[in-house]
C-alpha cells in the first residue's frame, strides 16, 4: 500500500461508445451509462467498486462534454455530487491525451499523488480480490513502477492484446517485457501454454510525477501541445484539443517505458466488448440462455435475448443474439455478434440517427421521448422532474397537453388536462412546481404542414 501520506486518485475513462453493443449502446448513451444487469450502470458499479480503497473526493471521470449531464445524474443516483470529479474533453483524442489531461489536472492539486486508471465500462465479478490487487498496484506505483493489471487468461482469446511478463519485481508483479497486438488463434494458444502472457486490461497505476516524466521522454510533442492549452477552467477549446495526437496510452507510453510492471490478476474481469462477451459473463438458465425483459423462449438454447419494450417470442433457435429497443432490433449469430460494429458504420454513412440517440433522451431536468414521427409532424413526451424546468421546441408551431402533475407553462399555471398552443418562434418554459413528475405531450407541426 502507498505511504499513508500519499494521496490516491482513481481516474475513470468514460469517453468510449461501445458500438459493438448497438442498438443499446449509442453515441449519446454509451455502454458505460447503460444498466445491462442489476440496478447500477457500468460507471456506477465501477465507482462503487473503488470507494473502499479510494476516497470519494479523489475520483475523477474523463468524458466528452456531451455525456457530462448524464454522468452527473448517474453520480447523483449513488449519492455523489459531480463537483470537480468530471473532467470534460471537447473532443475525443484516445486514451493517452485523456490520461495526460487527468494527470495535469490532479498535479494542480497534489504534487505526489498515485493515480489508478480504469475504463468506466468494464465489469469485475470478485470485488474483494480486485481491491486486494489494487492495493498491491498502489504500493508498486508508490515505488516508481508504471503498473498494468494483467488478466490471467483462461482460454486462447484473440480479441485482447497481451503482455509478456518477465522477472519478478515485488508484490507478485513481473517486469513488463513487451506488449503484443491481438494474436491469431494459434499464437493465443502458445501464449496460454507459456503461462507468462496476460490479457491487457487497460487498467494502470502510477505516480503522477513518474508518468509525467515518461510523457516528457516518450511523447514530448503531446505534452508540449497539452501544456499550451489553458487547463485552469472547465472548458477547453476544441480547436486546440483536436490538434493533440490521437494515440493510445499503450503506444504512447506503456510499450516504451522501462519502468513497466505487469501485475497478474484474476478477479473475473471482462471488458464487455460484445454481446458474446456479455453473454459469457452473465449466469445462464437451464437451457444455457441469458434472457432479460419480456421474452417467451420455446425450445431455445444458447441464446442471448434482451427486450426493452416489446414481447419477444422465439421457437427452436440456437446460438443467437436478439436485442430489441424501441426503434431497432439486432439479430445475429452469437459468435460473430461483434461484427455489429460494421453495421453501425453503414448506418452512420446513411445518416441514420439510430446510432446517435434512443427515442428517449435523458436530461438533467427529466426526459424527452419521441412517440411518433411523421411527415406532418412529431409527437413527443416530456417528463419534468420536481423542481426542474425545460423549454418547449422553438421555431415551429406546437401544442402542449398536461397528462400528469402540476406546474407552469409560460405565465400560466397548469394541471392535468391543461392545453396550450404556441406559435412558430415562441419559446415556452415548462416548470414543474409539484411533488410528482410533470408529464406533457407536445405535438409539433412540420413546416410543410403549416403551409
pLDDT score recorded for residue 238: 79
pLDDT band at 39, cuts 50/70/90?
A: confident
Is 50 exceeded by the pLDDT of residue 402? yes
Q: Which residues contact 11 (CB under 8 A, 6 or more apart)?
A: 60, 61, 62, 99, 102, 106, 115, 116, 117, 118
pLDDT score recorded for residue 372: 87
167 and 81 assigned to the same domain: yes
pTM (predicted TM-score): 0.85
Task: Select from 319, 349, 379 the last residue of a domain.
Answer: 349
Asked if residue 439 belongs to a domain, the reply is: yes
Task: Select from 304, 328, 349 the last residue of a domain.
Answer: 349
pLDDT band at 4, cuts 50/70/90?
A: low
State the first-to-last Cα distance of the chain, in angstroms, to the nearest integer. 71
364 and 345 assigned to the same domain: no
165 and 197 assigned to the same domain: yes
Give the chain's domain count.
Answer: 3
pLDDT score recorded for residue 397: 82
CA angle at residue 96 from 281 to 205, to 5 degrees? 65
Asked if residue 354 belongs to a domain, the reply is: no
15 and 153 assigned to the same domain: yes
Nearest Cα residue to 423 out of 378, 383, 392, 382? 392
Return the residue matching grid coordinates 460494429: 341
List the domain range (segments joined by +) for residue 423.
360-450
**Other C-beta atoms lying within 10 Å of the C-beta of residue 416:** 12
Q: If you average pLDDT over residues 121-147, what whole number do you get?
A: 95
**CB-based contact 239:149 (threshold 8 Å):** no
Asked if residue 316 belongs to a domain, the reply is: yes
pLDDT band at 15, cuts 50/70/90?
A: confident
CA distances from 170 to 141, 289, 301, 427 (A): 11, 42, 46, 64
pLDDT score recorded for residue 171: 86
Asked if residue 1 belongs to a domain, the reply is: no
423 and 391 assigned to the same domain: yes
- For the chain, how big is the Rg over CA atoms in Å? 24
pLDDT score recorded for residue 28: 85
**CB-based contact 247:154 (threshold 8 Å):** no
304 and 244 assigned to the same domain: no
Asked if residue 342 belongs to a domain, the reply is: yes
Asked if residue 2 belongs to a domain, the reply is: no
Share of residues in the chain with pLDDT > 90 (%):
73
**CB-based contact 54:8 (threshold 8 Å):** yes
21 and 158 assigned to the same domain: yes
25 and 172 assigned to the same domain: yes
When mean pLDDT is compared across 2-11, 17-26, 130-139, 185-194, the lowest value belongs to: 2-11
Is 70 exceeded by the pLDDT of residue 244? yes
Is 60 exceeded by the pLDDT of residue 57? yes
Nearest Cα residue to 117 out of 261, 10, 253? 10
Q: If you average pLDDT over residues 224-252, what whole number do you get?
A: 86
Asked if residue 27 belongs to a domain, the reply is: yes
Residue-wise pLDDT tens digits, 341-400: 999 999 999 999 899 888 888 888 898 998 988 888 889 999 999 999 998 866 678 899
Q: If you average pLDDT over residues 17-31, what whole number do you get?
A: 89
pLDDT score recorded for residue 395: 66
184 and 65 assigned to the same domain: yes
Is 50 exceeded by the pLDDT of residue 60? yes
144 and 281 assigned to the same domain: no
Is 50 exceeded by the pLDDT of residue 449? no
CATH number at residue 380: 2.60.120.10
Task: Select from 237, 270, 303 the last residue of a domain.
Answer: 270
197 and 137 assigned to the same domain: yes
289 and 369 assigned to the same domain: no
pLDDT score recorded for residue 450: 44
CATH number at residue 128: 3.90.550.10
Per DSSP bridges, beta strands 366-374 and 377-384 are antiparallel
When mean pLDDT is compared across 128-137, 268-277, 296-305, the lowest value belongs to: 268-277
Asked if residue 193 belongs to a domain, the reply is: yes
Amino acid at each position: 500500500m502507498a505511504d499513508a501520506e500519499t494521496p490516491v486518485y482513481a481516474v475513470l475513462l468514460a469517453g468510449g461508445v461501445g458500438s459493438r453493443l448497438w442498438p443499446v449502446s449509442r453515441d449519446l448513451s454509451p455502454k458505460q451509462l447503460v444498466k445491462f444487469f442489476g440496478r447500477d450502470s457500468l460507471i456506477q458499479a465501477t465507482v462503487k467498486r473503488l470507494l473502499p480503497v479510494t476516497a470519494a473526493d479523489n475520483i475523477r471521470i474523463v468524458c466528452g462534454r456531451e455525456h457530462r449531464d448524464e454522468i452527473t445524474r448517474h453520480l447523483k443516483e449513488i449519492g455523489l455530487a459531480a463537483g470537480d470529479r468530471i473532467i470534460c474533453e471537447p473532443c475525443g483524442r484516445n486514451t493517452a491525451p485523456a490520461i495526460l489531461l487527468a494527470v495535469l489536472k490532479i498535479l494542480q492539486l497534489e504534487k505526489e499523488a498515485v493515480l489508478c486508471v480504469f475504463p468506466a465500462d468494464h465489469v469485475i465479478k470478485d470485488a474483494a480480490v480486485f481491491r486486494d490487487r489494487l492495493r498491491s498496484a498502489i504500493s508498486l506505483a508508490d515505488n516508481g513502477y508504471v503498473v498494468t493489471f494483467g488478466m490471467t487468461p483462461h482460454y486462447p482469446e484473440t480479441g485482447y492484446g497481451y503482455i509478456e511478463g518477465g522477472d519478478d519485481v515485488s508484490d507478485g508483479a513481473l517486469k513488463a517485457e513487451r506488449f503484443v497486438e491481438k494474436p491469431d488463434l494459434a499464437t493465443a494458444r502458445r501464449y496460454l501454454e507459456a503461462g507468462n502472457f496476460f490479457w491487457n486490461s487497460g487498467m494502470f497505476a502510477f505516480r503522477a510525477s513518474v508518468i509525467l516524466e515518461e510523457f516528457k521522454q516518450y511523447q514530448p510533442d503531446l505534452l508540449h501541445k497539452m501544456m499550451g492549452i489553458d487547463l485552469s477552467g472547465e472548458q477547453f477549446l476544441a480547436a486546440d484539443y483536436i490538434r493533440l495526437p490521437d494515440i493510445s496510452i499503450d503506444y504512447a507510453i506503456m510499450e516504451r517505458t522501462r519502468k513497466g510492471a505487469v501485475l497478474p490478476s484474476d478477479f473475473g474481469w471482462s471488458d464487455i466488448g460484445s454481446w458474446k462477451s456479455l453473454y459469457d459473463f452473465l449466469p445462464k438458465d437451464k437451457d444455457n440462455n441469458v434472457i432479460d425483459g419480456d421474452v417467451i423462449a420455446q425450445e431455445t438454447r444458447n441464446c442471448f435475448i434482451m427486450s426493452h419494450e416489446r414481447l419477444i417470442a422465439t421457437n427452436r433457435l440456437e446460438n443467437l443474439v436478439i436485442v430489441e429497443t424501441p426503434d431497432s432490433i439486432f439479430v445475429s449469430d452469437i459468435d460473430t455478434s461483434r461484427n455489429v460494429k460494421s453495421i453501425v458504420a453503414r448506418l452512420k454513412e446513411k445518416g441514420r440517427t439510430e446510432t446517435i440517440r434512443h427515442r428517449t433522451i435523458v436530461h438533467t431536468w427529466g426526459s424527452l421521448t419521441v412517440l411518433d414521427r411523421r411527415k406532418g409532424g412529431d409527437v413527443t413526451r416530456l417528463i419534468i422532474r420536481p423542481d426542474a424546468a425545460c423549454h418547449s421546441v422553438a421555431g415551429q408551431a406546437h401544442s402542449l397537453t398536461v397528462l400528469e402533475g402540476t406546474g407552469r407553462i409560460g405565465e400560466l399555471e397548469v394541471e392535468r388536462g391543461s392545453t396550450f398552443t404556441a406559435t412558430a418562434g415562441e419559446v415556452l418554459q415548462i416548470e414543474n412546481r409539484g411533488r410528482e413528475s410533470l408529464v406533457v405531450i407536445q405535438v409539433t407541426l412540420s413546416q410543410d404542414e403549416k403551409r
